Amino acid sequence: MAVEIRRIEPYLWEIPRNGKMRVPGRVYASEHLMQDIRGDESLVQVQNVAALPGIVGWSLAMPDIHWGYGFPIGGVAATEARSGAISPGGVGYDINCGVRLARSELTADRIRPRLAALMDALFAAIPSGVGAEGAIPRLSRSELLRVLVDGATWAIGRGFGSADDLAHTEERGCLAGADPDCVSERARDRGLAQVGTLGSGNHFLEIQRVALIYDDDLARAFGLFEDQVVVMIHSGSRGLGYQVCEDYIRRIKPRLAVYGYELPDIQLAAAPLDSDDGRAYLGGMRCAANYAWSNRQVMLHVVRETFQRVLGLGPADLGMRLVYDVCHNIAKLEDHEVEGAKVRVCVHRKGATRAFPPRHPDVPPAYRESGQPVLIPGSMGNYSYVCAGAPGAMAGTFGSTCHGAGRRMSRTRAKRESRGRDLIGEMERQGVLVRATGMRTVAEEMPHAYKDVADVVEVMEQAGVSHRVARLVPMGVVKG
């Protein structure tokens, strides 16, 4: 299906309103990236999302956009809180899939002699792969309820980190309004044994070094310096979050006629925010988000312990402190300016990162003057970026920016094009050690399957949405 789209600014394109669209669609991209974007049905999905009841402003897509379930991955949409809809497809199956970056006091040269041993130990300590069970014992049902309500606060209370970690986590690692009664028994069962697990797909744990500083002042504010060793963790809510999404898609789909919703794609299935279905989904989604923050918090604790044990360092010498933790797949009630008026909206971010600018009241105090840290992972074995939110995000994207490189080919095609190659050997020859449960995920996640994250980040900087702070390159990668 051809989509009419025109360039309105050097890095911004618009799909004019047509058909059932309530607002225009807007896509942030360069001419080069638009060639890849036109290669799948994601622009059709941008157009479809514009038909959501109560949507305001625009249906938005970041430059890492690619086809997803209902919403494109890399999609952002805000619906009015009082009369708008909530769509589980606008959050996605991996609720609060996110990225956590921790910095250390170590330089790359200091760990290189022990890097192989360190990667072996991390691979052994943090379970990865489909269905992997956690780095900590299976939870009791009562303890799981605390995880769902308290998020990362639960993990800190169990000794997995400190209060300083909460101060450097989006929402302090806990969304208010989580309701365990809105999480099915099947979802709870799936969550009992997966706290402290990486998972599979595009999830990873990387030891990285800071290769390049773009902004000295912001780098100092974030505690970063050149050649510094950092650790990036990319994971989410695992089977529990998947099940929450699945449960509510099945619940809401048959009720669209009840709400009088006529949508161009059944995968956009949505319910009014003020309906029983809408409130229940938000209660369950918040539980899954809190589970994800607990999951990443536990993994960070295990990473710290593993570094100390393998390198023979104490906590002070290691100095591993959290820079920030951001979520990519979430829906949040926020205040934004729409047509000159302050409006309470539900911002769906699916494969998009919050990017609030300096002095925004929701930016943690540690970063109030610098802007919220934004963590943008690249493809496996490629570079990643630390950025900061900029004023253009509030004006154009409901405080959102990109979340990664974005796929340019399907997993099936990536596996086909990787056939017969010694992928792990290729990575090692580039100086990157890989530890993986199986070769399937490695083949699916190789750099050739993704856009160049440098191009993606450049678009958002040129558009004034987020600002580059540092480039990180991997030394070692753990995959599921």
Active site residues: 403
Gyration radius of the chain's alpha carbons: 21
Residue 399: partners with Cβ closer than 8 Å, 6 or more residues away: 334, 336, 347, 354, 355, 356, 357, 360, 389, 393
Question: Would strands 228-235 and 271-272 be described as parallel, antiparallel, or unpaired?
Answer: unpaired
How big is the chain, counted in residues? 480
Alpha carbon 294 to its chain's center: 15
The C-alpha angle 444, 449, 324, rounded to 5 degrees, equals 85
| Coil vs helix vs strand at 27 | strand
Using an 8 Å Cβ cutoff, are 235 and 198 in contact?
yes
Return the SS3 of 184. Answer: coil
User: What is the distance of C-alpha 316 from the center of its chain?
Assistant: 30
How far apart are the C-alpha atoms of 364 and 361, rounded to whole Å? 8
Place of tokens 């950092």: 230
Instruction: Report how far residue 161's alpha carbon sits from residue 167's, in angstroms, rounded to the nearest whole number.
Output: 12
Tokens of 60: 């938005």
CB 149 within 8 Å of CB 176: no
The tokens of 23 are what?
């607002």
Kindly report the backbone phi and psi dihedral angles of residue 446, in degrees, each rounded to the nearest multiple of 5, phi listed first. Answer: -65, 155
The C-alpha atoms of residue 357 and residue 388 are separated, in whole angstroms, by 7
Give the rounded distance of the alpha carbon of 163 from its chain centre: 22
